[in-house]
A and B are shown apart, each in its own frame.
Chain A
Amino acid sequence: MFLTPEIIAIYTLNIIFLFFSIFAFIISINIVMHWNVNRTDERQYGLEKKSILVATIIKFIFILKLPLFIFFVFTANKISGVITGAMCAAGVVNSISFGLWLFVFKILNLFIFGFWIALHNMDTKDEQLSLTKLKFSIFIVAFMLLVIEIIYEISFFSSLNIDKIVSCCGTLFSVASSSSFSFIFNIPSSIAIGFFYLIFSLLVVFSFLKNEPLFLVINIIFFITALISLILFFGTYIYELPTHHCPYCFLQQEYYYVGYLLYITLFIGTFSGISGSILSMLNRKNRKDFYKKSLLFNSIYVAIVTAYPIVYYIKNGVWL
């Protein structure tokens, strides 16, 4: 275990998050058990006031978690300089057996917390506060996930071992590897690319049809296929290297930090699609502008990743 300033910062924030979310968790249980809009007694008024506190806490956590996620990747990249064998965050994350799960939980929690805030904004506009019980039940689940993430994160940093030699991303993301990623490489890249553009065109069609369940499903599929095709195909064009598939290296300076742009547009695009669809299914009166937003950001993502192979082809006259 080693304490760099970055890790101490992450620990400190995690402790603050934990402290406040435990507070919010206890209130949420109370609200789920005793909430009744029709009652006019002291307890109901108290709960209504407390629900505002919980919402404030969750907003606080979410607004910090967004940049903190980027900071986490930044930190992992920095630590890779110290750990033997690691060249980017991939080596660091995979040096611990649950490193990948930490990442999965981080992304999942961002989606859930973001969705919670969207739900909350819709709920406060409703005079009946009909979604309150639902949103606090969701928070109870989100709290569990947050605790798991924090436990993972603390044990992740404390079990990092400087002396251990880890695999670099070049071997982790290759056909021959036996890591958790290798199943991806059994998919022929032509099929993955075809599928990726097929899903994207379906996403465009559905956004004009304005059918929420379809749009929800297609966004989830798009998120997954986008990641797979990025590792399989588009990544190699960003690196201009047919054997390098790492989804972390392009977060580094050598590639002009393009990875942050890619992941952020992809996140905003799919997140607004998913949460917008769910909210509209819950409440018919919800505004429909999420179709446009989701389509816009997903298209920006597709445009950037498509540009890389095309520019490469124009420059060199061959495909990788």
Chain B
Amino acid sequence: MKINHYLIGFAISSLFRRDAKSFFIIFIFTSLIFLLSSILFISNSIKEELFITLDSLPQITVQKLQAGRHANIEISRVDKLLKLNGVQSAIPRVWGYYYFENAGVNFSIVGIDSFDKQYKKNFEELVENIDFDELEKNDSMIVGEGVKEILSQNYYKDFFNFVKADGELKKIKISSVFKSSTVLESNDIILMPKNLVLDIFGMSKLKVTDIVLEVANPQEIPTISQKIKNLFPDTRVITNSDLRVSYQNIFDYKSGMFLALFVVSAFTFFMIIYDKASGLSSEEKREIGVLKALGWKIDDIIKIKFYEAFIVSFISFLLGIIVALFFVYILQAPLLRDIFMGYSRLKPAFELPFILDLQTIFLLFFLTIPIYIAAIIIPSWRVAIMNADEVMR
């Protein structure tokens, strides 16, 4: 197949001759592509941000299940887990959600002991800089930036009254605010000594929320998690890769849902184009009549129509992607990103990292341009087979 550049030139000038119509189609098509590509870009970026966070999460988390629900796990199990070959460390964690009714938000309270090994790097730095024994003596805590803001809106400037499980109040001072590199994970966090957390939640001193393990050789993770299951049949063992898979699934599912809706609008668009391409003005009909009288073949006229369609869809494709890139990465996708963020009053404000891979571009291409071109096949063939004498009459 040879491409005839005179035909392309003719196609371009015929698009210009019908500028209002071409502009209208390009406009609609661009907005469709823009919407679709924004959604895919946002979903890719958030997924990437989560995968970065994932690397800092523990390799194995062991939870106890009772009657199918998460229950606190005995602290004595830590020693048994440490005896498994390949386990480098086992850290008992005490944490939970505290619902603050006035603001309608959940805080994540995390218990920290200075002599424990920390399972997160940014916690480790904190432990080095802050004396947790001192915090315990003074009944004080460290809060994330988002928490600090909510508290001061409710006039808790330097302390907060926690309502304990038995209804008593526990007054805890705010000692400092901590910042972290990934806002997504630290915005709603409150750090305080373990004993205080146990006190607030009314938990037994012999139990912890869950246990996280560190494994020296990542390839041993599946084997070790199997061993833990055999050792404690009442536990749920969550590995790093389990989380990765479920993140991937959630985001594929979310963008899949959106896409399923998009397909409907794409078919509507298909109908519009089909209709537009079929209804020719008498002037256009005369033009084709003249071309045929000049000796153009049916194939040539179909070719012209294809070139026109390709030019229109390609321009819209480029425009749509450029506008979407601008919207998502420079304007940070107002409105649309809420679809993926879920809703929470303590929603962290974070930047969408810039991700643009070939596969997404491919995907966008397959979802848009073929639909447009498919819509014009039959109408342009109908146009092309008209007899010269009929249309010029």
User: Are A9's CB and B371's CB within 8 A?
Assistant: no
Flag whether A156 is at the interface (Cβ < 8 A): no
Closest A residue to B257 using CB positions: A3
Type the 1/0 row for B301-314, where 1 means its CB is closer than 8 Å to any CB of A.
Answer: 01000000000000
CA distance A68 to B244 in the complex (A): 27
Inter-subunit contact B367/A12 (CB<8 Å): yes
Contact B266 A5 (CB under 8 A): no
Cβ-defined contact, B373 with A82, below 8 A:
no
> Per-residue 0/1 for B235-277: is the Cβ within 8 Å of any A Cβ (1 yes, 0 no)?
0000000001100110011011101100100100000000000
**Interface size on A (CB < 8 Å)?**
31
User: What is the minimal beta-carbon distance from A143 to any residue of chain B, in angstroms?
Assistant: 17
- Tell whether, in the assembled complex, residue B362 and residue A56 are in contact, meaning their CB atoms are under 8 Å apart: no
Does B385 belong to the interface (CB within 8 Å)? yes
Mostly, the B contact residues are: helix
Closest to B367 in A: A9
Among B10-18, B211-219, B374-382, the stretch in contact with A:
B374-382
Contact, CB under 8 Å: A4 / B256: yes
A52 engages B252 (CB within 8 Å)? no
Given contacts A60-B377, A82-B248, A82-B249, contact A52 B299 (CB under 8 A): yes
Q: In the bound complex, do residue B298 and residue A52 qualify as a contact, i.e. CB atoms below 8 Å apart?
A: yes
State the main secondary structure of chain A at its contact with B.
Answer: helix
The yes or no answer to A268 lying at the interface (CB within 8 A) is no
Which of A5, A64, A84, A121 meets B370, CB within 8 Å?
Answer: A64
- A71–B362 touching, CB < 8 Å: yes
Q: Are A16 and B374 in contact (CB under 8 A)?
A: yes
Contact: A3 with B367, CB < 8 Å? Answer: no
B366, A13: Cβ atoms under 8 Å? yes
In the complex, chain B residues 204-240 whose Cβ is within 8 Å of any chain A Cβ = none
Bound together, the chains give a CA A74 to CA B263 distance in angstroms of: 22
Note all chain B residues with C-beta closer than 8 A to A313. none
Residue ID in chain B nearest A78 by CB atoms:
B359
Residues of the A chain whose Cβ atoms lie less than 8 Å from the Cβ of B378: 53
A68 and B366 contacting across the interface, CB-CB below 8 Å: yes
Complex contacts, B377 vs chain A, CB 8 Å: 20, 53, 56-57, 60
Chain A residue contacts of B257, Cβ below 8 A = 3
B81 touches A (CB below 8 Å):
no
The residue from A6, A49, A71, A162 contacting B249, defined by CB atoms under 8 A apart: A162
B302: nearest chain-A partner, CB-CB: A56
| Residues of chain A within 8 A of B249, CB atoms compared | 2, 82, 162
Per the bound structure, the CA–CA distance linking A202 and B244 in Å amounts to: 51
A242 in contact (CB, < 8 A): no
Judged by a CB distance under 8 angstroms, whether A81 is at the interface is yes
Residues in chain A near residue B299, CB distance under 8 A: 52, 124
A5 to B299, CA, bound (A): 35
Q: How far is the CB of B249 from chain A (nearest CB, A)?
A: 7
With a CB–CB cut-off of 8 A, which chain A residues contact B370? 13, 16, 64
- In the complex formed, the residue of A with least CB distance to B39 is A5
User: Residue A154 at the B interface, CB < 8 A?
Assistant: no
Q: Which of A3, A13, A124 contacts B252 (CB 8 A)?
A: A3
Residues of A within 8 A of B366 (CB): 9-10, 13, 64, 67-68, 71
Task: Tell me, rounded to whole Å, the shortest Cβ–Cβ distance linking B123 to chain A.
Answer: 29
Residue B40 interfacial (CB < 8 Å)? yes
B245 touches A20 (CB 8 A): no
A148 within 8 A of B: no
Tell me how far the C-beta of A200 lies from the nearest C-beta in chain B, rounded to whole angstroms: 29
Alpha-carbon separation in the docked complex, A10 to B363 (Å): 9
Cβ contacts under 8 Å, B373 to chain A = 60
A53 to B381, Cβ gap below 8 A? yes
**B245-A3 in contact (CB<8A):** no
The smallest C-beta distance from B85 to any residue of chain A, in angstroms, reads 23
Tell me the A5-58 residues at the B interface (CB within 8 Å).
5-10, 12-13, 16, 20, 49, 52-53, 56-57
Given the known inter-chain contacts A56-B381, A60-B373, A162-B245, please indicate yes or no for A8 contacting B259, CB distance below 8 A: yes
Contact between B252 and A4, CB atoms less than 8 A apart: yes
Residues on A with beta carbons closer than 8 Å to the beta carbon of B302? 52, 56
Alpha-carbon separation in the docked complex, A68 to B366 (Å): 8
Are B259 and A5 in contact, with the CB atoms below 8 A? yes
From B245, which residue of chain A is reached at the shortest CB distance?
Answer: A82
Shortest beta-carbon distance from B220 to chain A in Å: 16
Closest Cβ of chain B: how far from A81's Cβ, in Å? 7
Q: How far is the CA of A64 from the CA of B362 in the complex (A)?
A: 12
- The answer to whether B260 and A8 touch across the interface, beta carbons within 8 angstroms, is yes
With beta carbons under 8 angstroms apart, the residue of B244, B252, B298, B384 that contacts A5 is B252
> Which B residues lie within 8 Å of A13 (CB)?
366, 370
Residues of B within 8 A of A2 (CB): 249, 252-253, 256
Cβ contact within 8 Å between A60 and B248: no
Closest to B368 in A: A9
Q: Which of A7, A9, A49, A81 has the most CB of B within 10 A?
A: A9
Partner pick for A12 among B245, B263, B298, B362, CB 8 A cutoff: B263
Q: Which residues of B contact A3 (CB under 8 A)?
A: 252-253, 256-257, 259-260
Q: What CA separation (Å) do A168 and B1 show in the bound complex?
A: 41
Q: Please provide the chain A residues from 205 to 228 with a CB less than 8 Å away from any CB of chain B in the complex.
A: none
Given A4-B255, A20-B374, 12 other A-B residues pairs in contact with their CB atoms under 8 A: A5-B256, A5-B363, A7-B256, A8-B260, A20-B377, A49-B385, A52-B299, A57-B377, A60-B373, A60-B374, A81-B245, A82-B249
Chain A interface (Cβ within 8 Å of chain B)?
Answer: 2-10, 12-13, 16, 20, 49, 52-53, 56-57, 60, 64, 67-68, 71, 74, 78, 81-82, 84, 121, 124, 162
23 contacting pairs across A/B (C-beta < 8 A):
A2-B249, A2-B253, A2-B256, A3-B259, A3-B260, A4-B252, A4-B255, A4-B256, A5-B256, A5-B367, A8-B259, A8-B260, A8-B367, A9-B363, A9-B367, A12-B367, A12-B371, A53-B377, A53-B381, A74-B362, A78-B359, A124-B299, A162-B249
